[in-house]
Structure 1
Amino acid sequence: MMIICSVGGIAAEIITILAAKYPETVPYQWMLLGSFFDGLTGSFTAGSVLSHAYTSDCTPPSKRSVAIGYLHSCLFTGLAIGPLLAGYFVKWTGSLLSVFYVLLGCHITFVLFMVFITPESLSKRQRRLAHQKHATQQEAAGPVPEYFNPIMSRIPFGKHIRGTVHSIRTANPLAPLDILFPAGRENKRLRRNLLILAFIDMIILGAAVSAGTVTVLYVEYMFEWGNLESSRLVSLTSMVRVLVLVGVLPLINYLFRARKRRRQSAESSTPLAAETNAGADELDIWILRAALVSDVVGVTGYIFARSGTLFLVAAVVTAFGGLGSATIQSALSKHVPADRVGQLLGAIGLLHSLARIASPVVFNQLYAATVETFPQAFMVLLAALFALALAASFLVRPHGTSVVPCRAWDWKC
């Protein structure tokens, strides 16, 4: 599936290169087709969900936030050095098109890496059971019309085409969200945790997608910065996030989780039980709250900063909010059984897609409407959203305080 996500990117880059190199033959309108292919195969959102699902399959709950933090640190490293490398490529080659050749090479290298090096996260038996379960659910969604069987039996690959058509016919775009609503009164706290964490995750993702671009426009307008200064701002915040995710988060996890478990293992006369997904613990919740506090404080600093230096200080404070994006993904995955983590992350991916559509429209339109009167208006909205997310985080209950153990996962199938 991760390979499919990259295929759309490869098609988009090829179309962009052809449109730039042969504008008479391939007009620039064809770049819309490239974007269509990229979106059709899932693009960044599906790739992010799949990488988180793969990481969840390969790591125990106690180390999951650190592993996801490493993924996010790689992303922010690319955001930090990517624009710099692109500038150097343009300088060395004298052509902007060289950047797109490099991007195409990166996509192809990733596909080859996934095909020949990266192993499957699940065993053959686990994959077979998952396929059987999915087939059972598809059959339960609605029977294939009887008149369809004779037609499909007479054409090549009829069985596969029949399954595809049946899946499309019975598809419900909002069906992935069912996992956020586990049935049963005993799952009331679980249901509340999932919904609140999903809401907070949407705010964090929406802010990351939309606020960055508007912030660059804001600093260039307020402080009369050029591309160099605004690029330094992006690089500074990205590198601080990398240091936080690579250094601070693993240290916190070791001091307050790994060392505690190691001490319990040494003091216990019997081996400790294997780790299972039993919900987020207190450490996850407090890391998330601390990250949201840094976001609120940093964005509030944006509002009142009237010099570039103070704005950079606020940006560094905001960068510590990077702890939240990794922690909340880990916390969400701990609330469902291991075999349903992929389904949960699919629901989160759907919410991410909605946030990626709505949040840029809201923030860009707000900034455009208020730039001449009160340009900080979008930051006020951003700070209010982070404050709301912080308040909501205090409604999340760690699994240790639950009256009813997380024993039953009664989702409607």
Structure 2
Amino acid sequence: MADTQAGASGGRLIQRSQNDEVEDNSRRDRESEDVDGIEAQSRPLLTPVETRGTNEVDDEALPESGGNARFKWLKQPSLMMLMPPFVLYALALGAAAVPRVNLVLTLVCQDYLNRKEREATNGDFMPIKLLLGADNPQCEIPEIGAQAATFTLYMNIITGILSAMTAPRLGQYSDRIGRRKLLILGSFGACLCELTLIVCLKKSDSVSYYWLLLASAFEGIVGAFTLILALVHSYASDCTTFAKRSAAFSLFHGFLFLGIAIGPAIGGLVIAKTDDIAVVFYGVIAVHCVFMTYVGFILPESLSKAKMELAEKQHVEDSRISASWGSRILGVVNVFKPLDVLWPEEGGNLTKLRANMILLAAIDFIMFGVGFGSMTVILLYSKVEFHWTTKFASYYTSIVNASRVVGLFVVLPLLTRLFRKKPQPGAPVGGCDRLDTVIIRGALTTEVLGTLFFFAAKDTPLFMAGGIVASFGGLGSPTIQSSLTKHSPSNKTGQLLGVIALLHSLARVIGPTAFNGIYSRTAKTYPQAVFIVLVVLFAIAWLAAWFITPYIAADGVGDGDEAVERLFAEERGQLDESEPLVGRN
């Protein structure tokens, strides 16, 4: 009996010793992960290969590189790998913007003149053949301008509504199958859009310009450029730490606006050299082909297999919860169902977490909607009040975009470098930090001041100053979107940014409709009224920004994401130490 008790006592001692050893090992692992995470956040932003502790990529793991360490970065997802195709995409987007507007105006004008010719009697109307896409003085009359504006609004509505329906679901789907396939899909849809434009251009005598609505449908079904931007941001989120995410987003926003600023000059030069507007659209299609080829064969996937399987597992679980056919059908039909990601059901600090996500999404919606919807009004107002020529308006647009690029390429990275402190072990990880909130509030302050300049301007210099001041509000959007990703687990990044694409798509419809309507009704009596509305909206967003609480995140954000992924992979024996966990925070 004594021997039995002694054996039991010895067994308990051995078990206690083993437990103590496990706890010591676990503590050392956590300390190592903290140090590694801090070191990761201090590396340069555009690093081709990020060494990730035990997950370092070795040469033997990459037989395609022939064991040459110089080429292993080709298999490592990074911002540097994504930058070249996105720069091409931004340039193509800018190059096609002005020719597309001219094409719509000319096709509408040609239809108007043809109708006038058919209605004419006794030779009262001489037939006119226009140069499609060129500057035709015959089209510069109010009736044609109003008809073209209305038709452009129809195109925006179709693109906006369709992309609002598809973009969030495609973004969520990218969490399960990866970013690359849907980047290719988005570019392919843009190709179909450009091909439809070319058909309408070349066959204008037999093809109605209403076929341009089909081009808008092709663009909207695949999410338009809002989905491309969401997927690019998702890729960047997979490859960067929390500390660098806003700087990474600002890079892509900067290149987008740089393309919008430089692209029109490239398109104008091409038209001047070839006297054929179709060449621009051929060039855009060629860029999309290069984009799809690069993404399909060169760009590494940013999501590891373990993360995609984790997202698939979560999707299956969500589908099981809403197993009834009625719930599934309502989920598909309801455009706003994806907004559930902004209202998490689990985790601590749920009230503050939900408030943060709703406030950030609402502020981003206001900033994008006002920015997109007021562009036309600002140019119309300046033309009427200050008699700007088209050439001078182009200069103004270039100056404002250049200022925005400076803010995104210089000011925001500099603020991040100077004022974002190196994280310490045990410091809060998830959620936006105090610097993020300061940048958001500062960006909204410049938007309010710039719009007040618009309202008060009695001459061109003050009006241009307002545009330059307001351009630094561009620092807000990448900071807001990166902050949103810090509030959500990484296996929902695509879904979250897809919801942002949904809101942007709705803003593309609501913004122009609302602000053009306000301006058209007050242009003769009080044209500054639209700027009062803009100031009020920005002021509301500015006040809302003061209710954002720093360092609030859902469970599983930060180091927990990596732990969940490693556990999930280990359970299935799929953890490959040569594969970097690129979604690591």
Q: TM-score, normalised by structure 1?
A: 0.85
Q: Which residue of 2 aligns with 1:296?
A: 448
Q: Which residue of 1 aligns with 2:394?
A: 231
Q: 1:372 to 1:190 in 2, by over 3 A?
A: same
Q: Which residue of 2 aligns with 1:97?
A: 278
Q: Which residue of 1 aligns with 2:21?
A: none
Which of 292, 306, 313 is the aligned partner of 1:111? 292
Q: Which residue of 2 aligns with 1:394?
A: 546
Which stretches in structure 1 are left out of the alignment for 5+ residues? 146-165, 265-271
Offset, 1:408: 7.0
Q: Which residue of 1 aligns with 2:343?
A: 181
- Letter of the structure 2 residue corresponding to residue 397 of structure 1: T
- Deviation digits for residues 281-309 of structure 1 (CA, Å, limit 9, x no counterpart): 10000011011100000110011111111
- Deviation digits for residues 82-105 of structure 1 (CA, Å, limit 9, x no counterpart): 221221111111122222122222
Offset, 1:167: 6.5
Offset, 1:6: 1.4
Q: Which residue of 1 aligns with 2:119?
A: none
Tell me if 1:247 matches 2:410.
yes
Q: What pairs with 1:203-222 in structure 2 (closer than 5 Å)?
A: 203-222=366-385
- Deviation digits for residues 162-196 of structure 1 (CA, Å, limit 9, x no counterpart): xxxx9667523222111211236831111111111
2-structure distance, mates of 1:124, 1:192: 33
Select between 349-358 and 248-257 the one with higher mean Cα deviation.
349-358
Give the 3-state SS of the residue equivalent to 1:321 in structure 2: helix
Select between 79-88 and 189-198 the one with higher mean Cα deviation.
79-88
Q: 1:33 to 1:289 in 2, by over 3 A?
A: same
Query: Once superposed, what is the RMSD of the aligned Cα atoms?
Result: 2.2
- Letter of the structure 1 residue corresponding to residue 227 of structure 2: A
Q: 1:43 to 1:104 in 2, by over 3 A?
A: same
Tell me if 1:364 matches 2:516.
yes
Which stretches in structure 2 are left out of the alignment for 5+ residues? 1-181, 558-585
Which of 114, 134, 159 is the aligned partner of 2:315? 134
- Deviation digits for residues 21-51 of structure 1 (CA, Å, limit 9, x no counterpart): 1224433222211111111111112112111
Which of 249, 269, 280 is the aligned partner of 1:88? 269
Q: 1:102 to 1:277 in 2, by over 3 A?
A: farther
Which of 449, 458, 469 is the aligned partner of 1:317? 469
1-structure distance, mates of 2:254, 2:331: 39
- Letter of the structure 2 residue corresponding to residue 253 of structure 1: T
Give the 3-state SS of the residue equivalent to 1:374 in structure 2: coil
Q: Which residue of 1 aligns with 2:164?
A: none
Q: Which residue of 1 aligns with 2:226?
A: 45
2-structure distance, mates of 1:179, 1:129: 17
Q: 1:136 to 1:379 in 2, by over 3 A?
A: same
- 8 Å contact 2:489–2:556 — kept in the other structure? no
Q: Which residue of 1 aligns with 2:355?
A: 192
Q: Which residue of 1 aligns with 2:188?
A: 7
Give the 3-state SS of the residue equivalent to 1:9 in structure 2: helix
1-structure distance, mates of 2:195, 2:398: 28
1-structure distance, mates of 2:279, 2:328: 41
- 8 Å contact 2:441–2:542 — kept in the other structure? yes
Q: What pairs with 1:22-41 in structure 2 (closer than 5 Å)?
A: 22-41=203-222
Give the 3-state SS of the residue equivalent to 2:344 in structure 1: coil
Offset, 1:316: 1.0
- Letter of the structure 2 residue corresponding to residue 179 of structure 1: V
- 8 Å contact 1:142–1:170 — kept in the other structure? no
Q: 1:408 to 1:51 in 2, by over 3 A?
A: closer
- 8 Å contact 1:60–1:276 — kept in the other structure? no
- Letter of the structure 1 residue corresponding to residue 507 of structure 2: A
- 8 Å contact 1:291–1:320 — kept in the other structure? yes
Q: Which residue of 2 aligns with 1:151?
A: none
Give the 3-state SS of the residue equivalent to 1:35 in structure 2: helix
Q: Which residue of 1 aligns with 2:150?
A: none
- 8 Å contact 2:386–2:459 — kept in the other structure? yes
1-structure distance, mates of 2:364, 2:251: 18
Q: Which residue of 1 aligns with 2:422?
A: 261
Offset, 1:379: 1.2
- 8 Å contact 2:488–2:554 — kept in the other structure? no
2-structure distance, mates of 1:44, 1:321: 21
- Letter of the structure 2 residue corresponding to residue 119 of structure 1: P
Give the 3-state SS of the residue equivalent to 1:320 in structure 2: helix
2-structure distance, mates of 1:106, 1:363: 34
Which of 331, 336, 360 is the aligned partner of 2:483? 331
- Deviation digits for residues 143-166 of structure 1 (CA, Å, limit 9, x no counterpart): 579xxxxxxxxxxxxxxxxxxxx9
2-structure distance, mates of 1:287, 1:215: 25
2-structure distance, mates of 1:27, 1:339: 45
- Letter of the structure 1 residue corresponding to residue 253 of structure 2: H
Q: Which residue of 1 aligns with 2:529?
A: 377
- Letter of the structure 1 residue corresponding to residue 217 of structure 2: F
1-structure distance, mates of 2:379, 2:184: 33
2-structure distance, mates of 1:277, 1:110: 35
1-structure distance, mates of 2:428, 2:308: 20
- 8 Å contact 1:277–1:337 — kept in the other structure? no
1-structure distance, mates of 2:329, 2:289: 30
Aligned residue-pair number: 374
Q: 1:101 to 1:342 in 2, by over 3 A?
A: same
- 8 Å contact 1:53–1:342 — kept in the other structure? yes
- Letter of the structure 2 residue corresponding to residue 189 of structure 1: K
